[in-house]
Homo-oligomer: A and B are copies of this chain.
């Protein structure tokens, strides 16, 4: 059947590779491809030699994980990378050379002006201008902008001040184990194991996500401003963020105060948030209805609630966003980008 015969405009099936297939995000990438019926002609699962040989299931088919090498990308159309910035920098050039399009979940190329940084609900058109590599944004940034961008369209965004409540799965599978092991050790009165985080995360909060910069912010904190400028096409946007790791397994939350150019109204704000794609206005405090990580875990849509006129800043709104950082913050957004291609 030729492409022309398909009539329904569905894209031709693609040969897909996932780099970092056994990681927390890699696994979700497979699940999202299945769930969204992405047309997969073949799926190659790539990981470190340590994880190679594992068998994973995709659409009832068993696939053996292969070790990632320079030759891994032959006949691949789209390679989804989620194995850290070092792996992306080393192997993306090989994938490009082999003719694959790379959708990279690491921070390696996000600030490269040649590489579109895309949240499909916000700047889908940017994807068209790629030269072989597209970047998936930082998880906290993507989730926050899902609510901030519709408000920007209504009122003209000036800046945000935000604090995050980030789940341990954002660090990876080992951090999930570390939280579980620490909780067990505390219950049993045993020594608390600490490997992934510099301090105990169970029953504690750490104002420390990613590494520190000279100015006192962390790299993670500055992603909101740096990536937000590119995604929203707002070169003067500023964002002051405090990123905090909390003892939650999955889904990030963010308390946001956003200041706008124009006068804001709650009615209009609710209207644009209700109409925004990929976002649910979940906001009825009188019934204890507001976004929470346990309800957003495993959900594609982000949620926004606790919406109120800011009482300290003029033309500002304060609200609370939660979203699954493995989905909208990573795997879902990557597959959505693949769907644009």
Measured between beta carbons, the chain B residues less than 8 angstroms from A255 are 163, 207, 242, 244
Find out whether the CB atom of B198 lies under 8 angstroms from the CB atom of A187.
Answer: no
Q: Does A94 contact B (CB under 8 A)?
A: no
Measured between beta carbons, the chain B residues less than 8 angstroms from A183 are 183, 187
Measured between beta carbons, the chain B residues less than 8 angstroms from A293 are 203-205
Given that A159-B312, A242-B306, A312-B239 are known contacts, is A253 also in contact with B217, CB under 8 Å in the complex? no
CB 8 Å contact bits of A178-194 with B (1 = contact, 0 = none): 00000110010000000
Find out whether the CB atom of A294 lies under 8 angstroms from the CB atom of B204.
Answer: yes
CB 8 Å contact bits of A193-231 with B (1 = contact, 0 = none): 000001110011111100010011110001001000000
- Which applies to chain A's interface (DSSP): helix, strand, loop or mixed? mixed
Q: Does A14 contact B (CB under 8 A)?
A: no
Q: Does A308 contact B (CB under 8 A)?
A: yes
Q: Does A285 contact B (CB under 8 A)?
A: yes
Measured between beta carbons, the chain B residues less than 8 angstroms from A286 are 212
Complex CA gap A198/B163 in Å reads 23
Copies per complex of this chain: 2
CB 8 Å contact bits of A273-311 with B (1 = contact, 0 = none): 000000000000110101111100000000001111111
Complex CA gap A86/B240 in Å reads 40
Partner of A203, one of B161, B218, B247, B312: B247
| Most B Cβ at <10 Å: residue of A255, A257, A292, A306 | A255
A201 to chain B, nearest CB (A): 10
Partner of A165, one of B244, B249, B308: B244
Residue of B nearest to A205 (CB): B165
Q: Does A142 contact B (CB under 8 A)?
A: no
Residue of B nearest to A284 (CB): B212
Q: Does A238 contact B (CB under 8 A)?
A: yes
Complex CA gap A204/B312 in Å reads 28
Complex CA gap A176/B304 in Å reads 28
Measured between beta carbons, the chain B residues less than 8 angstroms from A309 are 215-216
Complex CA gap A71/B117 in Å reads 71
Task: For the complex of A and B, list the 9 residue pairs with the smallest distance between their C-beta atoms, beginning with the closest.
Answer: A216-B308, A163-B163, A240-B312, A238-B312, A242-B255, A198-B288, A163-B255, A212-B285, A159-B312
9 pairs, CB–CB < 8 Å, chain A vs chain B: A200-B294, A203-B247, A203-B294, A204-B294, A208-B285, A212-B286, A240-B311, A240-B313, A244-B255
